């Protein structure tokens, strides 16, 4: 198995390598790819140093799997070129998610849609992944009618420069660098990605469209407000979900407790509920504050937290690769 990690020097790329090591992903060759300015730089992985290579060089090698985390423009240009060489591309950008010819996959929910001929596979948006992980088993039981979600997203979702901006603001350092249009420390920005003509941001519409595609139901009503907050460790979401069928809270809790990859933390008497500080570095999706919406029937409120760099990005991508290997869907070169 010859594996490439594209965008290996970024936050998600580094996390992909950590997850690969933790999950003991087997490979005969590993190729790390980054921007031209990083070529030649060395990264240590499992006690061995790997030199960063250029995109064209690794593309020409015809590796078996390439996990991309280098931005949408890079994916649009290079994913088809890798695919032409027979490589299976697992792409972490938004480039291919809504392409009707590409699968959008969370392995625990819809890994079974993958087939050997899938050469470009889309990894969903981080906020979408953690939400559907909690909602999918409930949708199967009660059928979702409408979702209202507000997110509280970590600066790690923007990248290294955003983390640096927050830390420097916290230390009172003014170097002129501004990833965000406003100060982020001790602030909340209702602005993630660019604004669209309908007044929503791209991030908000990703949650709308991706949720429907992953759950396989275009009739679900979804509305979203996404907010960037000065935290590190994970994204949080307040989710209000209306079902077609009535539910019992005990049953909801039992369903979530049995769901793969989901951990229920819901003991408010003892101040137990999900928080990003506790999700940091973990792969699970944490769910709590389970309660009925008393303003209308068949409606549930819940609080969902997960490490956006892990299950929201790196872990999900590596899980897709694992699934492909386990199902013998990778034609090894």
Catalogue all structural domains in the chain, each as residue range(s) with its CATH number. Answer: 2-123+313-326 (3.40.50.720), 127-308 (3.30.360.10)
Give me the active site residues, please: 126, 235
Alpha helices, DSSP H, located in the chain = 11-22, 55-61, 72-84, 107-110, 126-142, 160-170, 202-215, 249-258, 276-279, 315-326
**How far is Cα 39 from Cα 52, in angstroms, rounded to an integer?**
5
| pLDDT digit string, tens, across residues 39-96 | 999 999 999 999 999 999 999 999 999 999 999 999 999 999 999 999 999 999 999 9
Element (H, E) at 151: strand 144-153
**Burial class of residue 162 in the structure, from the number of CB atoms within 10 Å of its CB (0-12 exposed, 13-18 middle, 19+ buried):** buried
Task: Quote the pTM value.
Answer: 0.95
Q: Which residues of the chain have pLDDT under 50?
A: none
| The two three-digit tokens of residue 170, written as one number | 């916290």
Q: What is the pLDDT of residue 333?
A: 63
């Amino acid at each position: 198995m010859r594996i490439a990690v594209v965008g290996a020097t970024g936050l998600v790329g580094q996390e992909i390598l950590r997850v690969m090591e933790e999950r003991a992903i087997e490979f005969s060759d590993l190729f790390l790819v980054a921007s031209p300015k990083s070529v030649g730089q060395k990264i240590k992985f499992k006690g061995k140093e790997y030199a960063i290579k250029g995109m064209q060089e690794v593309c020409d090698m015809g590796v078996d799997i390439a996990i991309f985390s280098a931005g949408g423009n890079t994916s649009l240009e290079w994913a088809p070129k890798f695919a032409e060489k027979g490589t299976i591309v697992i792409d972490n950008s938004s480039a291919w998610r809504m392409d009707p010819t590409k699968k959008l996959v969370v392995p625990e929910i819809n890994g079974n849609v993958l087939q050997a001929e899938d050469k470009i596979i889309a990894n969903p948006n981080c906020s979408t992944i953690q939400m559907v992980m909690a909602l999918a088993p409930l949708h199967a039981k009660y059928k979702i009618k409408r979702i209202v979600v507000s997110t509280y997203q970590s600066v790690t979702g923007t990248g290294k420069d955003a983390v640096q901006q927050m830390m420097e603001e916290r230390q009172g350092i003014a170097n002129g660098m501004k990833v965000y249009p406003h100060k982020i420390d001790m602030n909340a920005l209702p602005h993630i990605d660019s604004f669209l003509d309908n007044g929503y941001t791209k991030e908000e519409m990703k949650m709308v469209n991706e949720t429907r595609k992953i759950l396989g139901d275009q009739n679900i009503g979804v509305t979203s407000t996404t907010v960037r907050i000065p935290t590190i460790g994970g994204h949080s979401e307040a989710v209000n979900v209306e079902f077609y069928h009535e539910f019992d809270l005990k049953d909801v809790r039992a369903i979530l407790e049995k769901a793969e990859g989901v951990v229920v933390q819901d003991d408010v008497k003892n101040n137990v509920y999900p928080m990003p500080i506790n999700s940091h570095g973990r792969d699970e999706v944490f769910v709590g504050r389970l309660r009925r919406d008393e303003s209308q029937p068949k409606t549930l409120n819940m609080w969902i937290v997960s490490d956006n760099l892990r299950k929201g990005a790196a872990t999900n991508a590596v899980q897709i690769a694992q699934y492909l290997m386990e199902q013998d869907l990778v034609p090894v070169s």
